[in-house]
Structure 1
Amino acid sequence: MKYFSQFMLFALAIIVLLGMQYQYWMGENGHFEHNKLLAQIEEQQRLNGNQISENNLLRTDVHDLKNGLEAVEEHARLDLGLIKPHETFVQVSTASTTYSR
Protein backbone atom coordinates (compact mmCIF):
# COMPACT_ATOMS: atom_id res chain seq x y z
CA MET A 1 0.00 0.00 0.00
CA LYS A 2 2.90 2.31 0.76
CA TYR A 3 4.33 1.93 -2.75
CA PHE A 4 0.94 2.35 -4.35
CA SER A 5 0.37 5.77 -2.73
CA GLN A 6 3.88 6.86 -3.78
CA PHE A 7 3.21 5.68 -7.32
CA MET A 8 -0.10 7.59 -7.42
CA LEU A 9 1.58 10.73 -6.10
CA PHE A 10 4.33 10.36 -8.73
CA ALA A 11 1.73 9.81 -11.48
CA LEU A 12 -0.20 12.88 -10.34
CA ALA A 13 3.01 14.97 -10.42
CA ILE A 14 3.73 13.76 -13.97
CA ILE A 15 0.19 14.61 -15.10
CA VAL A 16 0.44 18.10 -13.58
CA LEU A 17 3.85 18.62 -15.21
CA LEU A 18 2.52 17.51 -18.62
CA GLY A 19 -0.48 19.81 -18.24
CA MET A 20 1.76 22.74 -17.46
CA GLN A 21 4.00 21.93 -20.45
CA TYR A 22 0.95 21.76 -22.70
CA GLN A 23 -0.18 25.18 -21.48
CA TYR A 24 3.31 26.59 -22.08
CA TRP A 25 3.66 25.29 -25.63
CA MET A 26 0.12 25.06 -26.99
CA GLY A 27 -2.01 27.24 -24.69
CA GLU A 28 -3.86 30.43 -25.48
CA ASN A 29 -0.90 32.58 -24.47
CA GLY A 30 1.73 29.93 -25.10
CA HIS A 31 5.07 29.90 -26.82
CA PHE A 32 3.75 29.39 -30.38
CA GLU A 33 1.18 32.14 -29.98
CA HIS A 34 3.93 34.42 -28.69
CA ASN A 35 6.03 33.75 -31.81
CA LYS A 36 3.04 34.50 -34.05
CA LEU A 37 2.52 37.81 -32.27
CA LEU A 38 6.20 38.70 -32.66
CA ALA A 39 5.95 38.06 -36.41
CA GLN A 40 2.85 40.26 -36.61
CA ILE A 41 4.65 43.01 -34.70
CA GLU A 42 7.60 42.89 -37.10
CA GLU A 43 5.26 43.09 -40.10
CA GLN A 44 3.39 46.04 -38.58
CA GLN A 45 6.65 47.84 -37.80
CA ARG A 46 7.73 47.38 -41.43
CA LEU A 47 4.42 48.82 -42.62
CA ASN A 48 4.74 51.69 -40.15
CA GLY A 49 8.22 52.44 -41.46
CA ASN A 50 6.85 52.68 -45.00
CA GLN A 51 4.07 54.98 -43.84
CA ILE A 52 6.52 57.18 -41.93
CA SER A 53 8.65 57.69 -45.04
CA GLU A 54 5.54 58.50 -47.12
CA ASN A 55 4.35 60.92 -44.44
CA ASN A 56 7.75 62.65 -44.38
CA LEU A 57 7.59 63.06 -48.16
CA LEU A 58 4.10 64.54 -47.93
CA ARG A 59 5.17 66.78 -45.06
CA THR A 60 8.03 68.25 -47.12
CA ASP A 61 5.68 68.71 -50.08
CA VAL A 62 3.20 70.61 -47.90
CA HIS A 63 6.04 72.73 -46.50
CA ASP A 64 7.19 73.59 -50.02
CA LEU A 65 3.65 74.48 -51.08
CA LYS A 66 3.17 76.74 -48.06
CA ASN A 67 6.53 78.52 -48.30
CA GLY A 68 7.41 78.83 -51.96
CA LEU A 69 5.81 79.65 -55.28
CA GLU A 70 8.11 77.33 -57.22
CA ALA A 71 6.36 74.24 -55.91
CA VAL A 72 2.94 75.71 -56.66
CA GLU A 73 4.06 76.56 -60.19
CA GLU A 74 5.51 73.09 -60.68
CA HIS A 75 2.24 71.45 -59.61
CA ALA A 76 0.26 73.80 -61.84
CA ARG A 77 2.46 72.96 -64.82
CA LEU A 78 2.35 69.19 -64.27
CA ASP A 79 -1.25 68.75 -63.12
CA LEU A 80 -3.11 71.60 -64.80
CA GLY A 81 -1.00 72.27 -67.88
CA LEU A 82 0.04 75.82 -66.94
CA ILE A 83 1.68 77.78 -69.75
CA LYS A 84 2.81 81.31 -68.92
CA PRO A 85 2.54 84.17 -71.39
CA HIS A 86 5.42 84.32 -73.89
CA GLU A 87 6.18 80.61 -73.41
CA THR A 88 6.01 78.01 -76.14
CA PHE A 89 4.48 74.62 -75.42
CA VAL A 90 6.43 71.74 -76.93
CA GLN A 91 5.24 68.15 -76.65
CA VAL A 92 7.68 65.34 -77.37
CA SER A 93 6.25 62.00 -78.34
CA THR A 94 7.87 58.89 -76.92
CA ALA A 95 6.06 56.56 -79.35
CA SER A 96 8.23 54.60 -81.75
CA THR A 97 8.21 55.86 -85.31
CA THR A 98 7.60 53.60 -88.28
CA TYR A 99 8.17 54.62 -91.86
CA SER A 100 6.18 53.17 -94.73
CA ARG A 101 6.93 53.42 -98.45
Structure 2
Amino acid sequence: MFRLIALVLVALLVLLQVKLWAGDGSWRQVEALEAAVAQQRDENARLKLRNDALAAEVDDLKTGDDAIEERARSELGMIKPGEVFYRVVEPQHPARDEGRRP
Protein backbone atom coordinates (compact mmCIF):
# COMPACT_ATOMS: atom_id res chain seq x y z
CA MET A 1 0.00 0.00 0.00
CA PHE A 2 2.82 2.41 0.90
CA ARG A 3 4.54 1.71 -2.45
CA LEU A 4 1.32 2.46 -4.33
CA ILE A 5 0.89 5.82 -2.58
CA ALA A 6 4.55 6.68 -3.15
CA LEU A 7 4.25 5.70 -6.83
CA VAL A 8 1.12 7.86 -7.26
CA LEU A 9 2.84 10.81 -5.58
CA VAL A 10 5.94 10.44 -7.76
CA ALA A 11 3.77 10.22 -10.89
CA LEU A 12 1.88 13.34 -9.80
CA LEU A 13 5.16 15.13 -9.16
CA VAL A 14 6.46 14.17 -12.61
CA LEU A 15 3.25 15.38 -14.27
CA LEU A 16 3.45 18.71 -12.45
CA GLN A 17 7.10 19.12 -13.43
CA VAL A 18 6.30 18.37 -17.08
CA LYS A 19 3.56 21.01 -17.02
CA LEU A 20 5.89 23.48 -15.33
CA TRP A 21 8.70 23.07 -17.88
CA ALA A 22 6.91 22.20 -21.14
CA GLY A 23 3.14 22.78 -20.97
CA ASP A 24 0.94 25.84 -21.31
CA GLY A 25 2.12 28.53 -18.94
CA SER A 26 5.60 27.00 -18.71
CA TRP A 27 8.64 28.98 -17.60
CA ARG A 28 9.79 29.47 -21.19
CA GLN A 29 6.41 30.75 -22.31
CA VAL A 30 6.16 33.14 -19.35
CA GLU A 31 9.65 34.54 -20.03
CA ALA A 32 8.85 34.99 -23.73
CA LEU A 33 5.63 36.82 -22.88
CA GLU A 34 7.41 39.06 -20.35
CA ALA A 35 10.01 39.97 -22.99
CA ALA A 36 7.27 40.76 -25.52
CA VAL A 37 5.46 42.94 -22.98
CA ALA A 38 8.67 44.84 -22.17
CA GLN A 39 9.37 45.38 -25.86
CA GLN A 40 5.82 46.64 -26.43
CA ARG A 41 6.11 49.03 -23.47
CA ASP A 42 9.30 50.48 -24.95
CA GLU A 43 7.62 50.90 -28.33
CA ASN A 44 4.59 52.54 -26.70
CA ALA A 45 6.82 54.98 -24.81
CA ARG A 46 8.66 55.91 -28.03
CA LEU A 47 5.38 56.42 -29.89
CA LYS A 48 3.96 58.49 -27.02
CA LEU A 49 6.95 60.85 -27.22
CA ARG A 50 6.45 61.18 -30.97
CA ASN A 51 2.71 61.80 -30.54
CA ASP A 52 3.37 64.43 -27.87
CA ALA A 53 5.81 66.23 -30.16
CA LEU A 54 3.31 66.14 -33.03
CA ALA A 55 0.51 67.40 -30.77
CA ALA A 56 2.72 70.30 -29.63
CA GLU A 57 3.51 71.13 -33.25
CA VAL A 58 -0.19 71.07 -34.17
CA ASP A 59 -0.95 73.33 -31.21
CA ASP A 60 1.80 75.75 -32.32
CA LEU A 61 0.41 75.81 -35.85
CA LYS A 62 -3.12 76.48 -34.58
CA THR A 63 -2.24 79.25 -32.14
CA GLY A 64 1.07 80.81 -33.13
CA ASP A 65 2.08 82.79 -36.17
CA ASP A 66 5.77 82.04 -35.62
CA ALA A 67 5.38 78.36 -36.46
CA ILE A 68 3.40 79.15 -39.60
CA GLU A 69 5.99 81.72 -40.68
CA GLU A 70 8.82 79.25 -40.08
CA ARG A 71 7.08 76.61 -42.20
CA ALA A 72 6.36 79.11 -44.98
CA ARG A 73 10.01 80.17 -45.06
CA SER A 74 11.60 76.74 -44.86
CA GLU A 75 9.20 74.62 -46.91
CA LEU A 76 7.77 77.11 -49.38
CA GLY A 77 10.70 79.54 -49.68
CA MET A 78 8.52 82.56 -48.91
CA ILE A 79 9.85 85.91 -47.72
CA LYS A 80 8.20 88.96 -46.22
CA PRO A 81 7.65 92.14 -48.24
CA GLY A 82 10.71 94.33 -48.10
CA GLU A 83 13.08 91.46 -47.34
CA VAL A 84 15.88 90.48 -49.70
CA PHE A 85 16.47 86.83 -50.45
CA TYR A 86 20.09 85.70 -50.70
CA ARG A 87 21.08 82.28 -51.88
CA VAL A 88 24.53 81.15 -50.78
CA VAL A 89 26.07 78.64 -53.12
CA GLU A 90 29.13 76.81 -51.89
CA PRO A 91 31.86 76.51 -54.53
CA GLN A 92 32.60 73.00 -55.65
CA HIS A 93 36.25 72.03 -55.37
CA PRO A 94 37.62 69.59 -57.91
CA ALA A 95 38.93 66.36 -56.46
CA ARG A 96 42.57 66.74 -55.55
CA ASP A 97 45.16 64.01 -55.73
CA GLU A 98 46.88 63.47 -52.42
CA GLY A 99 50.27 63.30 -54.13
CA ARG A 100 49.99 66.78 -55.65
CA ARG A 101 50.35 70.05 -53.88
CA PRO A 102 48.13 72.96 -54.84
TM-score by length of 1: 0.81
* Other structure's SS at 1:89 match: coil
* Other structure's SS at 2:84 match: coil
Q: Name the counterpart of 2:10.
A: 14
- Compared with structure 1, are the counterparts of its residues 15 and 42 closer, same or farther at alpha carbon in structure 2 (3 Å cutoff)? same
Q: Which runs of 5+ in 1 are unaligned?
A: none
**What is the Cα deviation at residue 80 of structure 1?**
1.2
Q: How many residue pairs were aligned? A: 97
What is the rounded CA distance, in whole Å, between the counterparts of 1:9 and 1:95 in structure 2?
93
Q: Which runs of 5+ in 2 are unaligned?
A: 97-102
Q: Name the counterpart of 2:73.
A: 77
Q: Kindly, what percent of the aligned residue pairs are identical? A: 29
* Other structure's SS at 2:53 match: helix
Higher helix proportion (structure 1 or 2): 1
TM-score by length of 2: 0.81
- Within the alignment, does 1:58 sit opposite 2:54 as a pair? yes
The CA RMSD over aligned residues, in Å, is 2.3
The runs of at least 4 aligned residues of structure 1 exceeding 6 Å deviation read none
